[in-house]
């Protein structure tokens, strides 16, 4: 049985990708016709095939969207990443669109800073980039919103953010943002609930210093202050009780692979220092159960690499953050292979929902969507090893874990990864949300 999405309009397609895809509740053979515009034209039987690329019984998936990365471009004196290197990792990890956060130096809180950042994407990005902005001065907010892809707010200090949004300013700011229509992502930790973090010397102590209660208090404050019209999304949720709370409030949120897969250990070093902290087994297991049950709308990497010597120095001086854009989808595809999570859950939380949240016509294999597609061989399991990854930082918190990397990655019907190697050109562009009705 084939599930044809309407008749193929006919005429030669620019490309026909043939393989298997998840359709109607199972993997079945498909032919995906791609038009000259790089959009999917039909899915099903193609009458008049042009250039045909047959991947046999390998699986064609939509490329993922990573809502949350820090490529820190320009890199500053301690930087180990850039838009060029970060987007190649994204491409190799099956991520076709990244949301780049604004806490660079200088912070992206003005139209000038946004222009400068856009100039750094053009001709350098392997995949598309959506640029977040920090709100900056209230009088310039409208001009900034006309250019930015989304906003990011910090309710607590973190890397590059010394002045979080003061509690008394939050309701007014959210009110102004609600009228602008852009998605708003919030880093929700309440610093008044932190213990003295300078005393923390390992990831388990870091978890006690920035406890789950700090996240719960910040989300409480956010839900009270957020007007109904605001498109608000909570970054890196680590506490199962918040999954229930945010779902019943109808608020979007994400979990990260590191909070889903790793736990805070007293014997680990500052490579595992991240904000919010890695949690204990109860929270980690609860988050994983919620994820596999399809209760977590989005997974995002919060890719935030730092040089190894800074991460292996004194814990209190080490910066927070782990790399992850290249391993996010591959780690979870390995979990699919092991039967730990259903494939449709991974497709929803890494491909479909994040793309929808940012107003992008991708993340589904359906007519009208961009032909941003992956080819995956579920038999080709490998082991994550930092020296086989492409992060200039040269380390990963997932060393030794099983992963399934995409064999191919297509951007708008053009192949950018073949046999697991980047073969594309830096043709990624800056995209902005379009919340007009998307193709079904």
Smallest gap from Cβ 415 to Zn ion, in A, equals 31
Query: Would you tell me the crossing angle of helices 212-225 and 170-178 to the nearest 10 degrees?
Result: 60
In the bound state with Zn ion, the residue whose beta carbon lies nearer, of 270 and 371, is 270
CA-based end-to-end distance of the chain: 21
b/e map of 289-328 (b: 16 or more CB within 10 Å)?
ebbbeebbbbbbbbbbbbbeeebeeebeebbbbbbbbbbb
Neighbours of 437 (CB within 10 A): 6
Closest-CA residue to 36 (of 413, 297, 397): 413
132 φ, ψ (degrees, to nearest 5): -80, 150
Give the range of 292-300, 302-310, 387-395, 401-409 binding Zn ion by CB under 5 A.
Answer: 302-310
Closest-CA residue to 382 (of 106, 188, 120, 93): 93
- For the CA atoms of the chain, what is the radius of gyration? 21
Smallest gap from Cβ 304 to Zn ion, in A, equals 6
Report residue 398 CA to chain centroid gap: 17
In the bound state with Zn ion, the residue whose beta carbon lies nearer, of 97 and 374, is 97
Smallest gap from Cβ 332 to Zn ion, in A, equals 19
In the bound state with Zn ion, the residue whose beta carbon lies nearer, of 182 and 417, is 182
Bridge-based pairing state of the strands 52-62 and 64-69 = unpaired
Smallest gap from Cβ 228 to Zn ion, in A, equals 26
Considering only residues 66, 189, 302, 335, which one is a binding residue for Zn ion as defined by CB under 5 A?
Answer: 302
Q: Tokens representing 119?
A: 């100039």
Give the range of 9-17, 91-99, 192-200, 300-308 binding Zn ion by CB under 5 A.
Answer: 300-308
In the bound state with Zn ion, the residue whose beta carbon lies nearer, of 35 and 324, is 324
Q: What is the dihedral of CA 179, 180, 186, 190, to 10 degrees?
A: -40
In the bound state with Zn ion, the residue whose beta carbon lies nearer, of 302 and 326, is 302
Annotated catalytic residue 434: no
Residue with nearest beta carbon to Zn ion: 302
Cβ proximity of 61 and 30 under 8 Å: no
**DSSP letter, residue 169:** G
Smallest gap from Cβ 148 to Zn ion, in A, equals 17
Closest-CA residue to 100 (of 143, 64, 66, 63): 66
Contacts made by residues 80-85, CB under 8 angstroms, sequence distance 24+: 80/305, 80/306, 80/307, 80/391, 80/392, 80/393, 81/305, 81/391, 81/392, 81/393, 82/120, 82/124, 83/120, 83/121, 83/124, 83/125, 83/129, 84/124, 84/125, 84/126, 84/426, 85/390, 85/391, 85/392
Smallest gap from Cβ 374 to Zn ion, in A, equals 24
Give the range of 299-307, 336-344, 419-427, 430-438 binding Zn ion by CB under 5 A.
Answer: 299-307
Smallest gap from Cβ 161 to Zn ion, in A, equals 10
In the bound state with Zn ion, the residue whose beta carbon lies nearer, of 96 and 102, is 102
In the bound state with Zn ion, the residue whose beta carbon lies nearer, of 39 and 259, is 259
Closest-CA residue to 281 (of 296, 293, 266, 292): 266
Neighbours of 220 (CB within 10 A): 14
Is residue 254 close enough to count as binding Zn ion by CB under 5 A?
no
In the bound state with Zn ion, the residue whose beta carbon lies nearer, of 239 and 336, is 239
Smallest gap from Cβ 237 to Zn ion, in A, equals 13
In the bound state with Zn ion, the residue whose beta carbon lies nearer, of 66 and 335, is 66
Q: Tokens representing 124?
A: 């350098």
Give the range of 125-133, 160-168, 176-184, 298-306 binding Zn ion by CB under 5 A.
Answer: 298-306
Smallest gap from Cβ 275 to Zn ion, in A, equals 8
Pick the catalytic residue from 302, 316, 387, 412.
302
Q: What is the dihedral of CA 112, 431, 175, 164, to 10 degrees?
A: -60
The residues that are catalytic are 302
Residues that bind Zn ion (CB under 5 A): 302
């Amino acid at each position: 049985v084939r599930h044809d999405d309407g008749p193929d309009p006919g005429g030669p397609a620019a490309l026909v990708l043939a393989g298997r895809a998840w359709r109607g509740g199972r993997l079945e053979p498909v032919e995906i016709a791609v038009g000259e515009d790089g959009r999917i034209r039909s899915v099903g039987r193609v009458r008049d095939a042009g250039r045909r690329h047959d991947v046999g019984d390998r699986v064609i998936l939509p490329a993922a969207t990573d809502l949350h990365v820090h490529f820190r471009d320009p890199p500053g004196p301690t930087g180990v990443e850039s838009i060029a290197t970060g987007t190649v990792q994204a491409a190799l990890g099956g991520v076709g669109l990244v949301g780049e956060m604004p806490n660079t130096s200088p912070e992206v809180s003005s139209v000038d800073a946004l222009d400068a950042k856009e100039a750094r994407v053009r001709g350098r990005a392997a995949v598309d980039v959506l640029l977040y902005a920090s709100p900056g001065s209230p009088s310039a907010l409208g001009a900034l919103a006309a250019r930015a892809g989304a906003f990011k707010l910090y309710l607590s200090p973190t890397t590059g953010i010394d002045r979080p949004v003061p509690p008394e300013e939050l309701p007014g700011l959210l009110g102004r943002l609600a009228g602008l229509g852009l998605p708003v992502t919030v880093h929700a930790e309440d610093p008044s609930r932190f213990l003295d973090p300078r005393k923390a010397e390992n990831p388990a102590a870091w978890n006690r210093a920035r406890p789950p209660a700090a996240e719960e208090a910040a989300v409480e404050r956010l839900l009270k202050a957020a007007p109904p019209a605001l498109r608000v999304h909570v970054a890196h949720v680590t506490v199962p009780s918040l999954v229930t709370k945010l779902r019943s409030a109808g608020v979007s949120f994400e979990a990260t692979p590191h909070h889903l897969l790793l736990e805070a250990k007293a014997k680990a070093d500052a490579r595992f220092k991240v904000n919010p902290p890695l949690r204990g087994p109860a929270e980690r297991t609860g988050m994983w159960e919620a994820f596999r049950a399809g209760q977590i709308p989005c997974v995002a990497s919060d890719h935030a690499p730092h040089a190894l010597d800074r991460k292996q120095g004194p814990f209190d001086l080490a910066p927070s953050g782990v790399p992850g854009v290249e391993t996010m989808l591959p780690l979870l595809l390995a979990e699919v292979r092991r039967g730990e999570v259903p494939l449709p859950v991974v497709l929803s939380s890494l491909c479909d929902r994040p793309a929808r949240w940012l107003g992008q016509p991708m993340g589904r294999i359906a007519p009208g969507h961009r032909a941003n597609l992956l080819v995956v061989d579920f038999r080709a399991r490998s082991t994550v090893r930092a020296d086989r990854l492409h992060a200039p930082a040269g380390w990963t918190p997932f060393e030794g874990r099983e992963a399934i990397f995409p064999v191919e990655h297509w951007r708008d019907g053009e192949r950018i990864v073949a046999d697991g190697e980047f073969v594309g050109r830096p043709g990624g562009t800056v995209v902005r949300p379009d919340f007009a009705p998307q193709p079904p």
